[in-house]
Chains A and B, each alone.
Chain A
Amino acid sequence: MRPFAFERAPDLAAAQRVVALSASSRAETVPAMLLAGGTTLLDLMKLDVLRPERVVDINALAGRFGGVAAEPAGLRLGALARMAQVADDAGVRRDYPVIAESLALAASAQLRNMASLGGNVLQRTRCSYFRDVSHAACNKRNPGSGCAALGGCNRQHAVLGTSDHCIATYPGDFAQALVALDAVVEIEGPQGARRLPFAGLHRLPGDRPDEETVLRPGEIIAGFLVPAGPWARRSRYVKVRDRESYAFAAASAAVALDLDGDRVREARIALGGVATIPWRAREAEAALAGQVLDEAGAERAAAAAFREARTHGDNDHKPELGRRTLVRALLEAARMEI
């Protein structure tokens, strides 16, 4: 870790002022980073992967951006709400089970108590080459240096949305639920507030894997708005992992279904553990629309979702695992009593 200045921002304006005014004094550092739960940021600072000159604690904004509110239009989640708080919320569990499950199945109890929703969606990849600065080649950490995971250890790496420059998996769970439910992300910036479809927040790696989101300097995620819809209650998050708890997804699927008998009116599907960003599987949704949701239908949808998958050796099993995970999630959601 390198020395940094630490500040607590008492309000939004102060937070933005600090971030906007800071300038980097050295090429190797970034001017300022926000601290919420710190469970991603501090780890990566200790590993020397992130080198902010200033760390701005925004937890004092929790009064304004830390709530969970069910409104007629949908569910409003503050960026500083803790993962555990939302996972345990009775209303969320009943009306948006995919959100509660995606949070409850993530990380450990200690981390969920500490970590915020805003920090969660911005967590960084678990690619080991990214997290260890002694590996020289990592385009995400050091643009233009290459990608050690291509041809290296890539069992956990992505098969969807990859590029020749980066195949790192987006590791989180909650973001899949947001993507599937068409959530909107609310952003406060120095130039004012703006809203984006959550699915537009993360960027594909392309040739700039270091640029992970469309957030601009000084912008803060204020919260998420999840629209109410007939699919929200019949929603489910299936997470497949190497051990029973406290592990990142080997593959996961967030699904929300609006059924008419055994026929699908509308399906919402997002995939985790297999893609470089929270992955909306629109081809799979299209394959299901208007169809009977049985084993064969689910398999057709899953095949569509992974048609473009590209594997890299250690992760050759991922398309098959991803397909099966999606089939399982669809059939389990179809069986839900709501």
Chain B
Amino acid sequence: MPDGSMSGRIGQSPVRVDGRAKVTGAAHYASDMAVPNPAWAWLVTSAIARGRIAAIDEAAARAVPGVLDILTHRSMRGEVGDAGFFAGGGYAGSTIRPLQDDRVRHDGEIVAIVLAEGLEQAREAAYRLRIDYAEETPAAGFGSEGAELVSAREASGGSFEDPGVGDADAAFAGAAIRVAADYATPTQHHNPIELFTTTAQWEDGRLTVFEGSQYVHGLKNGLAAQLGLDPAMVRVESPYIGGAFGSRGSLTQRTALIAVAARRLNRPVKLVATRDQGFTIASYRAETRQHVKLGADTDGRLVALVHEGTEVTSRPDPYKVAGTQTTSRIYACPNIRTRVSLLHADRNTPGFMRSPPELPYMFALESAMDELAHAAGLDPIELRRRNDTMREPIKGLPWTSRSLMPCFDRGAAAFGWAERNPAPRSMREGDWLVGWGCATTIYPTHLGAATARVTLTPDGRARVQTAAHEIGTGTYTVVAQAAAEGLGLPLGKVLVEMGDSDLPPAPVSGGSNVTASVCTVVMQACEQIRARLAAAATEGPLQGRDPATLRLLDGALRAPDGAAEPLAAAMARAANGAIEVYAENIPEGLPPDSLKKLYQGKQALGGGLEGKQHVMAAFGAEFVEVRVHSRTAELRVPRILGAFAAGRIVNPRTARSQLMGGLIWGIGSALHEATEIDRRTARYVNDNIAEYLIPVNADVPQVEVLFVEEEERTANPLGIKGLGELGNVGTNAAIANAVFHATGKRVRELPIRIESVL
């Protein structure tokens, strides 16, 4: 477990409490967890995207020494129940349940599981398993026959409304300056470095699952529903996670299958799926096509904004990101129309991927804003200034705080934006065309109900228990900081336990909510401890002081006049030993049933842009320099800079690293990342990280993060806005805008590659 000896209160930059364990290999990830005598599972996934399994020949596979069993739909039918789609109140990221019938519904669907004494034996047998398919012609997505288009509103049964106001089409028709264009974003996969793994172990009817998860309570409850178990009989452990980015947010179907396998073999079973299987057994970012129309008056003030998007999804699941919820709220504009549609195809169900709605939709909006700036002859920053607003335009609700223009101003100064020659193709260095671009970035401030148990012992140590997750963001560290702050202890005296569904539930590590949600409830627990100690301080050095004024600081309970009592003594008055507090918090503005949903493992975040009194989001401005070789058109980003305002920054060190990671991800998303799909077969082709490119160090020589101070008073008592997903939102557009500036060519389809500008 993490231990840190640095001092570190909220706002300071202690090093990660788990950093040493991670770099020395002492941190154990789910598949590192030792279980007695495990059997190994190897997945066999479908070679077609649509059809039926016609025949399975197991003979050669079963002849491999060490093979224990081969699970197929013939032996597994009826074993795994429906956990419901997470967005419809259930748990699963995809309701396609493999091995429950002979249908194949997407490329790489699990069609068999080989169980063997050893990994190599399981793999060899998997290679020898022969499956014959009765193939049907699949629909891959856009342009495919048989794909089915529905409006998001229809698909949601009316619960989703496309945001809009005024008459955008009429206003656009009459606008002095107009731009209208189509944009496209590709399928992308998370490819966290930790592969998708599951280890399942049964002991006396109780199931323990070791699996990297962004929501151990969700996984636990979903598994219980699938397997017909009392949730109390399921435990999920996920102490460390080697990257998730949304891919481990909802239950995937493999887990229950491995649990059933372990029950059948009556011994633990371990699965480490391969990199290519990760492309099809979990989720991904859906491909989109978008249309944006912007109309402005001669001063560049928006009079019309139209944003339409279509997203690919699976046949059964109406997964959508609907980024129009964000793009319709950012700029002042009296007439807005949006529409989101879904295209059902023979694909696995997409899901959350870092900044799910904002990344694709802000690419289109912020590219269009740049096109508008060019058409209006305005500097792109000036265009945003003219359309800046302290109230969102759909309902007229105020932003709790918004520092977009301060971010642009700080960022522009640091980047040297004033030196930019606005004419496309006007800047050059040697053989390289140089372009500078910028874009707005935004991420809504989500919050969730959360619980935590905090125990303070008389020796001045604290233990914090909450089922939050360390997905690499630094959660162990910031939670420890919150407790250190609340109890007046050095960071090294705080032990944080997370990533275990036996701990008090914390929300899904998604939507950038965790620091705000979890630190808030931990602080509440600390406050209850302080209040108990203060109330008991009726005698001794603090006698006669108003309990409300007493604070825990530097290992003592202290009054404003300097009187103090050491912690051990103060505790002796209040309790016989340790003080333990269990706190539950429902953030203001969230429905009262949020807590109940949390205990059920449902995903129930609120806040953000859904508020009734106000809306809240973190903002930023991103600047990039792009170089395009004048002959051979390689695209490179020698420098990138982001200026961000996100309320109170709990730990500038980990925050910076999140935002840097976001900017780097944004570079990859703009220039490298795309899952290629064979349109004839609806199959992924470049399903490995030699061919699915992401930036390497040489692609990100200079990445700069600036924090713009911002006071947030409303979002939560600590004034925290999440920033985990803020960094990569604006980058795609900033790069596309810089490419336009460098080359004069507007590229509206991602990724932007050599052939886009050749």
Say whether B123 faces chain A, with CB atoms less than 8 Å apart.
Answer: yes
Q: Are B758 and A317 in contact (CB under 8 A)?
A: yes
- Against A, the Cβ 8 Å flags (1 = close, 0 = not) of B644-680 are 0000000000000000000000000001100011101
Chain B residues within 8 Å of A1, by CB: 120, 123-124, 127
> What are 13 A-B interface contacts by the 8 Å CB criterion?
A1-B120, A128-B687, A133-B127, A242-B671, A243-B672, A243-B695, A246-B696, A317-B754, A324-B758, A325-B632, A328-B431, A328-B631, A328-B632
* Interface of A, helix, strand, loop or mixed by DSSP: loop
Give residues 669-700 of B contacting A (CB, 8 Å): 671-672, 676-678, 680, 683, 685-688, 690-691, 693, 695-699
Say whether A129 faces chain B, with CB atoms less than 8 Å apart.
Answer: yes
Minimum CB–CB distance from A25 to chain B (whole Å) comes to 15
Q: Are B672 and A242 in contact (CB under 8 A)?
A: yes
User: When chains A and B are docked, how far (Å) is the Cα of A242 from the Cα of B691?
Assistant: 10
B758 CB contact (under 8 Å) in A242, A243, A244, A321? A321
Q: Are A244 and B123 in contact (CB under 8 A)?
A: no
Chain B residues within 8 Å of A136, by CB: 47
A151 CB contact (under 8 Å) in B45, B680, B690? B680
User: When chains A and B are docked, how far (Å) is the Cα of A155 from the Cα of B674?
Assistant: 12
Say whether B427 faces chain A, with CB atoms less than 8 Å apart.
Answer: no
Minimum CB–CB distance from A138 to chain B (whole Å) comes to 12
Known contacts A2-B127, A244-B636, A321 near B755 by CB under 8 Å: yes
Interface size on A, residues (CB 8 A): 37
Q: Are B685 and A152 in contact (CB under 8 A)?
A: yes
User: When chains A and B are docked, how far (Å) is the Cα of A153 from the Cα of B186?
Assistant: 14
User: When chains A and B are docked, how far (Å) is the Cα of A137 from the Cα of B685?
Assistant: 13
Say whether B57 faces chain A, with CB atoms less than 8 Å apart.
Answer: no
Say whether A191 faces chain B, with CB atoms less than 8 Å apart.
Answer: no
User: When chains A and B are docked, how far (Å) is the Cα of A321 from the Cα of B754?
Assistant: 8
Known contacts A126-B691, A152-B680, A152-B685, A243 near B47 by CB under 8 Å: no
Q: Are A155 and B632 in contact (CB under 8 A)?
A: no
In the complex, the chain A residue whose C-beta lies closest to that of B44 is A134
Q: Are A244 and B754 in contact (CB under 8 A)?
A: no
- Against A, the Cβ 8 Å flags (1 = close, 0 = not) of B459-491 are 000000000000000000000000000000000
Q: Are B693 and A247 in contact (CB under 8 A)?
A: yes
User: When chains A and B are docked, how far (Å) is the Cα of A264 from the Cα of B123?
Assistant: 57
Q: Are A126 and B690 in contact (CB under 8 A)?
A: yes
A134, A155, A243, A251: most-surrounded residue (chain B CB, <10 A): A243
In the complex, the chain A residue whose C-beta lies closest to that of B751 is A242
Minimum CB–CB distance from A282 to chain B (whole Å) comes to 23
- Against B, the Cβ 8 Å flags (1 = close, 0 = not) of A225-264 are 0000000000000101111111100110000000000000
Say whether B546 faces chain A, with CB atoms less than 8 Å apart.
Answer: no
Minimum CB–CB distance from B562 to chain A (whole Å) comes to 59
In the complex, the chain B residue whose C-beta lies closest to that of A241 is B634
Minimum CB–CB distance from A33 to chain B (whole Å) comes to 17
Range, interface on chain B: 35 or more
Say whether A212 faces chain B, with CB atoms less than 8 Å apart.
Answer: no
Q: Are A244 and B632 in contact (CB under 8 A)?
A: no
Chain A residues packing against B (C-beta within 8 Å): 1-3, 48, 126, 128-129, 131-136, 148, 151-153, 155, 238, 240-247, 250-251, 316-317, 320-321, 324-325, 327-328
Chain B residues within 8 Å of A246, by CB: 696, 698
Minimum CB–CB distance from A308 to chain B (whole Å) comes to 20
User: When chains A and B are docked, how far (Å) is the Cα of A19 from the Cα of B405?
Assistant: 71
User: When chains A and B are docked, how far (Å) is the Cα of A80 from the Cα of B758?
Assistant: 39
Known contacts A153-B678, A317-B755, A321-B758, A242 near B693 by CB under 8 Å: yes
User: When chains A and B are docked, how far (Å) is the Cα of A292 from the Cα of B45?
Assistant: 59
Q: Are B685 and A244 in contact (CB under 8 A)?
A: no
Chain B residues within 8 Å of A152, by CB: 678, 680, 685
| The 5 A-B residue pairs with the shortest CB-CB distance in the complex, in nearest-first order | A317-B755, A244-B698, A134-B47, A245-B698, A153-B685
Chain A residues within 8 Å of B671, by CB: 242-243
Chain A residues within 8 Å of B677, by CB: 153
Say whether B568 faces chain A, with CB atoms less than 8 Å apart.
Answer: no
Chain A residues within 8 Å of B753, by CB: 242
Minimum CB–CB distance from B607 to chain A (whole Å) comes to 37
Q: Are A243 and B632 in contact (CB under 8 A)?
A: no
In the complex, the chain A residue whose C-beta lies closest to that of B694 is A243
User: When chains A and B are docked, how far (Å) is the Cα of A155 from the Cα of B685?
Assistant: 11
In the complex, the chain A residue whose C-beta lies closest to that of B678 is A152
Q: Are B685 and A129 in contact (CB under 8 A)?
A: yes
User: When chains A and B are docked, how far (Å) is the Cα of A325 from the Cα of B758?
Assistant: 11
Q: Are A240 and B686 in contact (CB under 8 A)?
A: no
A321 CB contact (under 8 Å) in B633, B683, B686? B633
Known contacts A153-B685, A321-B758, A240 near B680 by CB under 8 Å: no
Known contacts A128-B685, A128-B691, A328-B631, A244 near B678 by CB under 8 Å: no
Q: Are A128 and B696 in contact (CB under 8 A)?
A: no
Give residues 682-738 of B contacting A (CB, 8 Å): 683, 685-688, 690-691, 693, 695-699
Chain A residues within 8 Å of B123, by CB: 1
Q: Are B754 and A242 in contact (CB under 8 A)?
A: yes
Q: Are A153 and B699 in contact (CB under 8 A)?
A: no
A243 CB contact (under 8 Å) in B629, B687, B696? B696
Say whether B102 faces chain A, with CB atoms less than 8 Å apart.
Answer: no
